[in-house]
Amino acid sequence: MSTIQNPPTEDGNGKPSGASKRSLMSLAIGTLMLIGVAFILYVTVSASIKPKAALDLNEFKVGALEKLQIVAEPRPVPTASFKDADGKPVTLADFKGQVVVLNLWATWCGPCKEEMPTLAKLQAAYAASPLKVVAVSVDSVDYDDLARSDIAKTPPLALYRDAKYALAFGLTPRPAGLPTTLIIDRKGMERARLEGGADWSSPQARGLVEALLAEK
């Protein structure tokens, strides 16, 4: 036979007994504890789902990177494919998870050749880090040998080709000229760009990529 629990008893004056008072106090304390736990869970969950503000990169817009254009809101990069040194198609999505320094250059571009050694130094300095300098030549196929010869002078950079400007024309906004360099974060979003030559081995450039490498 099941047991039925009786309600709290009262004393002779119609007031709750001592056992009843303790039961009510325990119930009140338990309720307060549950409210406290619920509040903590609410704060924790809210903090975890609240979007974080984008890292402010303006502090690096000085010296060698004074022409750096900071993207107000991170924006997606083109999905168009280009070719690696072996002629195989690749996309920027293939580098997701790394900080990418995307450099558009050409053999006929003087400032491109001037800054190329600094891009090579940047890549070499972060060889053990998830940083990839992707130097994409926009020369026509007729200049393939010359492009290979030029990039071979700046190891450890590898040759990438975009002879049809599919990648370049897919950028928003389109580059005004060469060289143009984009800074892409680990999520594959453009965070900054610089049109014209720059010293990519400078303290400002290293600070910029290190800030993005440290970003969660």
Q: What is the pLDDT of residues 87-125, one digit of tens each?
A: 999 999 999 999 999 999 999 999 999 999 999 999 999
Q: What is the pLDDT of residue 4?
A: 45
CA distance 197 to 51: 34
- Check whether 193 has a pLDDT greater than 90: yes
Q: What is the pLDDT of residue 50?
A: 45
Q: What is the pLDDT of residue 102?
A: 98
CA distance 142 to 146: 9
Q: What is the pLDDT of residue 152?
A: 98
Q: What is the pLDDT of residue 32?
A: 62
Q: What is the pLDDT of residue 170?
A: 96
CA distance 127 to 133: 10
User: 58 pLDDT band (50/70/90 cuts)?
Assistant: very high
Parallel, antiparallel or unpaired: strands 131-137 and 99-105: parallel
Average pLDDT for 168-185:
96
Q: What is the pLDDT of residue 200?
A: 98
- Check whether 155 has a pLDDT greater than 50: yes
Predicted TM-score of the model (pTM): 0.76
User: 133 pLDDT band (50/70/90 cuts)?
Assistant: very high
- Enclosing H/E stretch for 73: strand 69-76
Average pLDDT for 190-211:
98
- Check whether 23 has a pLDDT greater than 80: no
CA distance 64 to 204: 7
User: 146 pLDDT band (50/70/90 cuts)?
Assistant: very high
In sequence order, what are the residues at sequence separation of 6 or more whose Cβ sits closer than 8 angstroms to the Cβ of residue 183? 57, 99, 100, 101, 102, 190, 191, 192, 193, 208, 209, 212
By residue count, the chain amounts to 216
Average pLDDT for 5-11:
52
Exposed/middle/buried for residue 14 (C-beta within 10 Å: 0-12, 13-18, 19+): exposed
Q: What is the mean pLDDT of the chain?
A: 87
CA distance 197 to 178: 8
- Of 26-30, 58-62, 73-77, 179-183, least confident by mean pLDDT is 26-30
Q: What is the pLDDT of residue 112?
A: 98
Q: What is the pLDDT of residue 51?
A: 46
CB 80 within 8 A of CB 100: no
Domain 58-214: assigned CATH number: 3.40.30.10
DSSP-assigned letter for residue 70: E
